[in-house]
Structures are given as C-alpha cells and as structure tokens.
Amino acid sequence: MIDWLNWLIWIAKDYKI
C-alpha cells in the first residue's frame, strides 16, 4: 500500500500558512 495519507499530510503542513 502506498502512503498517500502521508503525502496529503505533507501538503496540508505546507499549506498551513
């Protein structure tokens, strides 16, 4: 299984302006 959830969290972290 691919850790797509981790990817989403990474994006959200960067989008937390």
Name the residue type at position 5: L
The token pair that represents 9 in the structure block: 């969290």
User: Does the pLDDT of residue 1 top 70, yes or no?
Assistant: no
Q: How many whole angstroms separate alpha carbon 10 and alpha carbon 1? A: 17
User: Does the pLDDT of residue 16 top 60, yes or no?
Assistant: yes
- DSSP element (H, E) containing 9: helix 4-14
Q: Name the residue with higher pLDDT: 9 or 2.
A: 9
pLDDT for res 14: 84
